[in-house]
Structure 1
Amino acid sequence: MSDYSFCQNSEDEKQLTWKPIQKHVKLETVIGNVTEIASESPEGSVGNYIVMDCPDWVIVIAEDKDEFLMVKQWRHGTQSLSIEFPGGVIDPGESSLEGALRELREETGCFPKTIVKLRELSPNPALFSNKVHFYYATELSQQGCQDLDEDEFLNYMRISKNEVLENMGKPPFIHGLMSSALLAYIQYKKNS
């Protein structure tokens, strides 16, 4: 017999839904704001929770024959280099598609003839308020050089799809959102 004092499964989402009461920005940063949210639980108790309010992000899986176009850059959180699909923050007033095209061009100098939105998801709904948008780009043409932001230092490279598929999740392919993007790509390819 279980020692659990509470076991419940219900279709009623009201039993799961919290009600935000008050928001207070604790810290403004260049990547987003740290916000404290006072929320009332379904049972009426109140708790304070920290959320990062960030702009939406975009990630572009750029495919050229049997290779992906990827970037290698330093990540301050892990203090290590990471190989990733091109991407970044969507600028104010920019659509996710415009952001995807801009980020691909800025980081690689390439432009796609075809680009398809795969999906969008929450990068970490417990801590972040934003969404990340995944795009799949093909028929790439080189239309210039990198045009990086002032604090952006990265190299772009072509890596075989097999190498990426075999190594995603292992150093230096450590960024969790890249695994999510790759899964969206695999699902798209399976269904197309």
Structure 2
Amino acid sequence: MDAPTWINIIPITKEQKVIMIKQYRFGSQEISLEIPGGMVDAGEDALSAAIRELKEETGYGSDEVHEIGKISPNPALMSNHTYSYVAYNVEKIGDQQLDNMEDIEVLEVDLDKIPNLITSGEIDHSLVISAFYLLDQFEK
């Protein structure tokens, strides 16, 4: 099944805080702790989409954005990929620019607390967990 290309991005401040988002997910019927992400628009490359989603969902930006990996989110059913990025030294550059259906809370989380948030199940979105694994491998 064809599905759009997706991206997600791990925004990290100079103080080693991850800019995360909380939003309601209709599939799980729960509020999910995540990193910014979304679909790549027609005619847009994955890097541009990651930078755009970071700004739209959080109001943050960075000049230091790196691709950290590409995964197949559900190869049994879909042909798409998710590209993951890290943005270092992010700073607040404006207000959120949310779509009509988006209601997103932005928060800072200490980078060193991420493994415990995954282990405890507070972060349970598979694409987010994959992105943090890719970041760990990228930084080795």
**Once superposed, which parts of structure 1, at least 4 consecutive aligned residues long, lie more than 2 Å away?**
169-172
Q: Is the 8 A contact 1:123 1:177 kept in 2?
A: yes
Aligned length: 139
Shift of 1:61: 0.6
Q: Which has the larger radius of gyration?
A: 1
Report the counterpart of residue 10 of structure 2 in structure 1: 61
When the two chains are superposed, the root-mean-square deviation of aligned CA atoms in Å is 1.1
Q: Percent identity?
A: 35
Q: Secondary structure at the match of 1:168?
A: helix
Report the counterpart of residue 181 of structure 1 in structure 2: 131
Larger proportion of strand: 1
When normalised by structure 1's length, the TM-score is: 0.70
Q: Is the 8 A contact 1:82 1:171 kept in 2?
A: no
Q: Is the 8 A contact 1:111 1:140 kept in 2?
A: yes
Q: Which amino acid aligns with 1:100?
A: A
Please point out which of 131, 135, 141 is paired with 2:81.
131
The separation in 1 between residues aligned to 2:112 and 2:89, in whole angstroms, is 19
The separation in 2 between residues aligned to 1:157 and 1:177, in whole angstroms, is 19
Does 2:63 correspond to 1:113? yes
Consecutive unaligned residues of structure 2, counting only runs of 5 or more, are none
Report the counterpart of residue 28 of structure 2 in structure 1: 78
Q: Secondary structure at the match of 2:89?
A: strand
Shift of 1:162: 2.0
Shift of 1:121: 1.2
Shift of 1:81: 0.6
Specify which structure has the bigger relative contact order, considering alpha-carbon pairs within 8 angstroms and separated by 6 or more residues. 2
Q: Which amino acid aligns with 1:88?
A: G
Larger proportion of helix: 2
Please point out which of 77, 102, 122 is paired with 1:172.
122
When normalised by structure 2's length, the TM-score is: 0.94
Consecutive unaligned residues of structure 1, counting only runs of 5 or more, are 1-50
The separation in 1 between residues aligned to 2:107 and 2:46, in whole angstroms, is 24
